[in-house]
A and B are shown apart, each in its own frame.
Chain A
């Protein structure tokens, strides 16, 4: 076979072709020029928003008209819809990037100091600069409250999803409706519920002497995690139920046909198979509550001091910290609020990345540790057999 043949050039089938690029460029430039003329030379008013909207509308029109010179109607519609959809995507990314960049710039002053991460606002006065005080107590509060909310919501949520999907029956439909209704509860109502139920408390009937005569919690991190759980539980249930439904029925039958009980099948086959999806369910639940302020507002209390104990005394969390400091009339406080918002964002990202790495293994993959253990066992067996022969 001859080796001197040049490698055949590959045909590019995707992306913009020169023709389309030219049309796009001319439409952008032409519409910009026309809009500029309208707003700067003809119309008596000028407004950045009006400029942007007119520019985009003119761009779409021009793009369609220019495309029509080479394409038929179907082709033109295809291009215009393509442009619209691409714009939607770009706007979304721009908004997200805008938020991140904006709060990072505003919080930059606070983020640059190490004391911001290791110190609390106790004993910090309004005249103190950014070199004093920080968000350590709020970070601890967020960790503890979210961890407690996970401890409450995940078992309840997954157990309910298992009930809905694996047990079912007539009652399941009612439970499902209640769960959907629960996910629509405004978070401030969840906060009010915990406030009215546990902070104000209620008298226990006298025939229950063992628990004391009154249920009443102080404002605390634990009360906050209860309020967060009200929002988190329905998210976990709804997502977990969908995930469990995706487990092939053949696996359940295979397990039952081996003579296992229903619970053994759920524990040994259904839940492990659904594990990556269940982790997503938990993540969505966390994402729902980690930045919540309103449920926490009424029941967590507020303090500048560091409080490790979520069960006693007020405990601040990052969203609550942001909410309180952003309202203060001092530049330093507002910078701290933005700094805390950046930290909250970063925490969410770290949270997601870790959970993805820990639990994101696709079903069917056996962990490296287990692989090694099994091959070691096999090697030993073969050695023994070899010696016997």
Chain B
């Protein structure tokens, strides 16, 4: 078996996404009257991996969901500030939420492949559901896209002989990589990952981290993680979130991963990354 990461990928059959810079300006978020985020400014640079770290309940998942307009799907949720993708505000009235979500993909904490679809169809589901699927005459193109996406997600060699099997028949780690492949197949410019490895065993976690490393050049990655070593291993930049009793979640410190972990400016950051709380 060839190593998936050294195998050159076949050229993308559709126009590949180009990594985009995502910047959040003065973002605040509420659930009902309860404010959970305040004054968050963060730039997630194109083609880099940005890790959001911090203890539970500090609003980093909420922040991630604001970045592709998933936050507003929760009843009673509201927000302030702006989020720019290469300079365009994704919350502008002229920007349809569908378009923002297509450009900014998401992988969730819990692997959620579509249970009614095969592995093959799960990968193509983003295009198929949006009515941009490949017709009968373009099965070869569809096959190329499936192979490319699954290779990018490091799953191809494990499933190439059973693409027709249901997505739910895979193991947990494989399902999560299938979800990554599914998100990559619509060629997003940014990929958001909400604790993608929290339910996975160490081997699967390593595969997902390898996947992140492999895709980082073609898509901007923003990852929420509770695992300090993981943040250190996969990310170029880090943002440390914290919420206090009467203070909504905010960024305490941000910078290059090396700085955050080796010489943090803030004492709380230093305590957190060294495991003294959280």
Contacts and interface: CB of A to CB of B under 8 A. Distances in A.
A371 B164 contact: yes
Interface string B160-182: 11011111110000000001001
B269 interface: no
Interface string A348-385: 00000000000000011110001111110110010000
Contact of A257 (B106, B115, B165): B106
A264 B70 contact: no
Contact of A374 (B112, B118, B130): B118
Interface string A304-319: 0000000000000000
A268 B125 contact: yes
Nearest to A169: B75
B149 to A, nearest CB: 12
B70 A257 contact: yes
Interface residues on B, range: 35 or more
A364 B115 contact: yes
B95 interface: no
Interface string B250-275: 00000000000000000000000000
B168 A364 contact: yes
Interface string B9-23: 000000000000000
Nearest to B111: A250
A374 B120 contact: yes
B143 interface: yes
Given A250-B108, A377-B143, A378-B161, A259 B99 contact: yes
Contacts of A366: 117-118, 164-166
A253 B73 contact: yes
B101 interface: yes
Contact of B114 (A254, A259, A261): A254
Contact of A364 (B99, B102, B169, B183): B169
Interface string A259-287: 11100110111001101000000000000
A259 B163 contact: no
A260 B130 contact: yes
B129 A255 contact: yes
Contacts of A373: 164
A33 to B, nearest CB: 60
Contacts of A256: 70, 73, 101
B110 A250 contact: yes
A259 B116 contact: no
A338 to B, nearest CB: 44
Contacts of B117: 366
Contact of A260 (B110, B126, B183): B126
A212 B101 CA distance: 51
A272 B122 CA distance: 13
A374 B106 contact: no
Interface of A: 248, 250-251, 253-261, 264-265, 267-269, 272-273, 275, 363-366, 370-375, 377-378, 381
Given A258-B130, A273-B116, 19 more contacts: A251-B114, A253-B73, A254-B108, A255-B114, A256-B73, A256-B101, A257-B108, A258-B102, A258-B125, A258-B183, A259-B105, A259-B126, A259-B130, A259-B186, A260-B98, A264-B130, A273-B114, A364-B116, A374-B163
26 contacts: A248-B112, A253-B70, A253-B112, A254-B108, A254-B182, A255-B125, A257-B101, A258-B101, A258-B105, A258-B182, A259-B126, A260-B126, A260-B129, A264-B130, A264-B131, A269-B114, A269-B125, A363-B115, A363-B168, A364-B115, A364-B167, A366-B118, A366-B164, A371-B118, A374-B164, A375-B163
Chain A to chain B: the 9 pairs with minimum beta-carbon distance, closest first? A259-B102, A374-B164, A258-B126, A257-B106, A364-B115, A268-B129, A250-B112, A364-B168, A272-B116
